Structure formats: structure tokens, C-alpha cells
């Protein structure tokens, strides 16, 4: 049998666990074993057929079919694939699937709307990483209409405890704001609105890049189509 030499980090990424960089971090943290032995040295090469690779005790097999999913996260569901307190989370809706899915970014528990999932770890990281500046759009119901100076402030930038945050665009109809932003910091929109003295009553993400939520009902999912994937 020929020895198919492959960098360990690339194999982990090809299996859909994470990106190459993320795989290197897993190796450095001692969370990867090859044939039962912990590997922490970067650049190690393996034979995917001959060697058994495990991440946190779970054996990896290179996946040939990549899955890309749009999911409508309901309010009250955690944006995680597991929860030690057994609270509702994303995996509850995908128990029938065998693929190891990763969610792209997060929505806080009380927010709802579009979440992307895939077994392609590199794609998921690219979509979520701030350096790619992928635009997200939100429909935000507030307790009362904002005035013109408040709307301009959201676009100019709001000073928060972890730095300035600004929207790409903001429009308003009644008490509903449509906010486009490419940042992904924790509860960024809620904190921006709160800093102006307003309260968010409902927050729904209806677009991620060129991918739209559309009429997808809460708790339901669909596969992304080829046109949506071409743009990402």
C-alpha cells in the first residue's frame, strides 16, 4: 500500500472539523491523537488510510460530501451543538443527520432567525471570521421609534466597552429597524441600541451574506442552493 503523506492539520480540516488554523490550535492544545498517542507538534504527516486520528476522542473520517444548511433558529434555542444543562440547542433539530455539523456564528438565546450550518469547517470559519466582513441583516423591533440623530449615530459608530461598533446601514419603519452590519461581536446590536437608551423587544436575522431566510418557518431548515454557495 502506498503511503499517502498528508499533513495532520489538513486532514483534520478536510474532515470538516475546523479550518487548517483551527486544526493547528487543536493539535497545540493536545486534543488530537494519532493511533492513540497525543500529537502536539505541528507539521506531522499521516496516512489517512493507515492511521487512526481522533479529536477529543472522536475518530475522524474524511468526508466527501459537503453539506450546507440554512436553519431558522427559534427564540429560546441556544446557538450551540450541545448544552451541559440540556437546554434546547441546535443539535435538537439535526439528530437524524450523521454529519458533524458546525454552526456559522451565533445568535443569542432570545434572538431568532438565520443560522448557517455545515460539515465544512473551513467554509464555516471563513463565513464567520471578521476579516471576511460578511454582511448580516437584522430586523429589530424596539420599544419606541428612534429619532434621526440616533439613526445617524448607529451608522457613525457607538462606543462600547469593547470598542466602537457601527452599522453599515440603518432604516426604520415604525418601531422596526433594518440594520446591516458585518461585525459578529456578542450581542452587538442589542448593546448598540441599548447604548442609545432604547430596548430591543425582538431581534431576527433574515440575511447572512447573500443567503436569505425567506419564508423558512422557525425550527425548519433547507439546503443552500448552488447560486448561494457561488457567492461565498
Q: How far is C-alpha 108 from the geometric centre of its chain's CA atoms?
A: 12
Indicate whether 82 and 21 sit together in one domain: no
Instruction: Output the nine-digit C-alpha cell for 186.
Output: 456578542
14 is catalytic: no
Q: How many CB atoms lie within 10 A of CB 154?
A: 24
Closest CA to 104 of 76, 88, 126: 126
Q: What is the pLDDT of residue 212?
A: 96
Q: Which residue has the higher pLDDT, 219 or 226?
A: 219
Mean per-residue pLDDT for 194-222? 97
Q: What is the pLDDT of residue 123?
A: 86
| 3 — pLDDT class (breaks 50, 70, 90) | very low
Q: Are 78 and 110 in contact (CB under 8 A)?
A: no
- CATH number, residue 55: 3.10.290.10
Considering its fold, how many domains does the chain have in total? Answer: 3
- Is 214 a domain residue? no
Tell me how far apart the alpha carbons of residues 128 and 126 are, in angstroms, rounded to a whole number.
5
Q: What is the pLDDT of residue 183?
A: 85
pLDDT (tens digit per residue) in 173-203: 999 999 999 988 889 999 999 999 999 999 9
Collapsing DSSP to helix, strand or coil, 142 comes out as strand
| 2 — pLDDT class (breaks 50, 70, 90) | very low
Indicate whether 83 and 109 sit together in one domain: yes
Indicate whether 157 and 118 sit together in one domain: no
Q: Are 45 and 4 in contact (CB under 8 A)?
A: no
Tell me how far apart the alpha carbons of residues 46 and 145 are, in angstroms, rounded to a whole number.
59
Indicate whether 161 and 192 sit together in one domain: yes
Indicate whether 147 and 172 sit together in one domain: yes
pLDDT (tens digit per residue) in 142-169: 999 999 999 999 999 999 999 999 999 9
Indicate whether 21 and 76 sit together in one domain: no
Q: What is the pTM of this model?
A: 0.74
- CATH number, residue 151: 3.30.2350.10
- Residue 107 CA: distances (Å) to CA of 22, 78, 91, 165: 21, 8, 15, 17
pLDDT at 45 over 80: yes
Q: Which residues pair with 193 in a beta bridge?
A: none
Instruction: Output the nine-digit C-alpha cell for 20.
Output: 487548517
Mean per-residue pLDDT for 37-42? 94
- Is 27 a domain residue? yes
Q: Which of 47-61, 117-131, 166-180 has the highest mean pLDDT?
A: 166-180
Q: Are strands 68-73 and 211-212 parallel, antiparallel or unpaired?
A: unpaired
- CATH number, residue 121: 3.30.70.580
Tell me how far apart the alpha carbons of residues 199 and 96 are, in angstroms, rounded to a whole number.
38
Q: What is the pLDDT of residue 142?
A: 98
- Is 42 a domain residue? yes
Collect all residues with Cβ–Cβ distance below 8 Å to 230 and sequence separation of at least 6.
none
Indicate whether 161 and 181 sit together in one domain: yes
- Is 48 a domain residue? yes
Indicate whether 166 and 121 sit together in one domain: no
Phi, psi (5° rounding) for residue 149? -60, -35
Average pLDDT, the chain: 90
Q: Are 158 and 208 in contact (CB under 8 A)?
A: no
Instruction: Output the nine-digit C-alpha cell for 178.
Output: 433594518
Catalytic entry in 83, 92, 108, 206:
108
Q: Which domain holds residue 188?
A: 135-208
Indicate whether 42 and 86 sit together in one domain: no
Q: What is the pLDDT of residue 153?
A: 97
Q: What is the pLDDT of residue 4?
A: 56
- Is 146 a domain residue? yes
Phi, psi (5° rounding) for residue 230? -60, -35
Instruction: Output the nine-digit C-alpha cell for 80.
Output: 450551540
Amino acid at each position: 500500500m502506498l503511503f499517502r503523506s498528508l499533513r495532520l492539520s489538513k486532514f483534520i480540516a478536510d474532515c470538516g472539523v475546523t479550518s487548517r488554523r483551527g486544526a493547528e490550535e487543536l493539535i497545540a492544545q493536545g486534543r488530537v491523537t494519532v493511533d492513540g498517542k497525543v500529537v502536539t507538534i505541528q507539521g506531522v504527516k499521516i496516512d489517512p488510510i493507515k492511521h487512526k486520528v481522533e479529536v477529543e476522542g472522536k475518530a475522524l473520517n474524511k468526508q466527501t460530501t459537503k453539506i450546507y444548511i440554512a436553519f431558522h433558529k427559534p427564540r429560546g434555542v441556544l446557538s450551540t451543538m450541545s448544552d451541559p444543562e440540556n437546554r434546547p440547542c441546535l443539535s435538537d433539530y439535526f439528530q437524524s443527520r450523521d454529519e458533524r455539523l458546525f454552526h456559522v456564528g451565533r445568535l443569542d438565546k432570545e434572538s431568532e432567525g438565520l443560522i448557517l450550518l455545515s460539515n465544512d469547517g473551513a467554509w464555516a470559519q471563513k463565513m464567520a471570521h471578521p476579516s471576511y466582513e460578511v454582511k448580516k441583516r437584522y430586523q429589530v423591533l424596539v420599544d419606541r421609534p428612534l429619532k434621526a440623530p440616533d439613526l445617524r449615530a448607529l451608522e457613525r459608530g457607538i462606543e462600547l466597552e469593547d470598542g466602537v461598533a457601527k452599522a453599515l446601514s440603518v432604516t426604520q419603519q415604525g418601531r422596526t429597524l433594518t440594520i446591516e452590519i458585518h461585525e459578529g461581536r456578542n450581542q452587538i446590536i442589542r448593546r448598540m441600541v441599548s447604548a442609545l437608551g432604547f430596548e430591543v423587544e425582538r431581534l431576527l436575522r433574515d440575511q447572512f451574506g447573500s443567503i436569505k431566510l425567506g419564508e423558512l418557518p422557525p425550527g425548519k431548515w433547507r439546503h443552500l442552493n448552488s447560486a448561494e454557495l457561488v457567492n461565498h
